[in-house]
Amino acid sequence: MSEVKVVATVDRIEGEQAVLLLPVADGEIPVNWPVSLLPAGTGEGSRIQLTLKEDPDSEAEARQRVADLLDKLTRRSEQAH
């Protein structure tokens, strides 16, 4: 399974939201991020590493929950008619 590591800079913190600057090919893009999901001690100017990877087990579970919900809604709709 492949993963992508991105080093972001905390540009600023505005209340409960931090603005992270993520590197892209032609510079940086700002991304809002909940302060509650930052490591303890992180502040403006901090550099943090984000690791992104697929989670096939959780994905399969999420797909099943959605399929079950759609099935339930479809049955309810058919019973109403």
Query: Model confidence over 24-59: pLDDT tens digits?
Result: 999 999 999 999 999 999 999 999 999 999 888 888
Question: What would the CATH number be for the domain defined by 3-80?
Answer: 2.40.50
pLDDT category at 62 given cuts 50, 70, 90 is confident
| 8 Å CB contact between 12 and 43 | no
The dihedral over CA atoms of 60, 37, 39, 43, expressed in degrees to the nearest 10, equals: 150
Q: Phi and psi for 3 in degrees, rounded to 5?
A: -140, 155
pLDDT for 81? 67
pLDDT for 1? 64
Any idea how long the chain is?
Answer: 81
Sort strands 17-24 and 47-53 into parallel, antiparallel or unpaired: unpaired
Residue closest to 19 by CA, chosen among 28, 57, 61, 81? 28
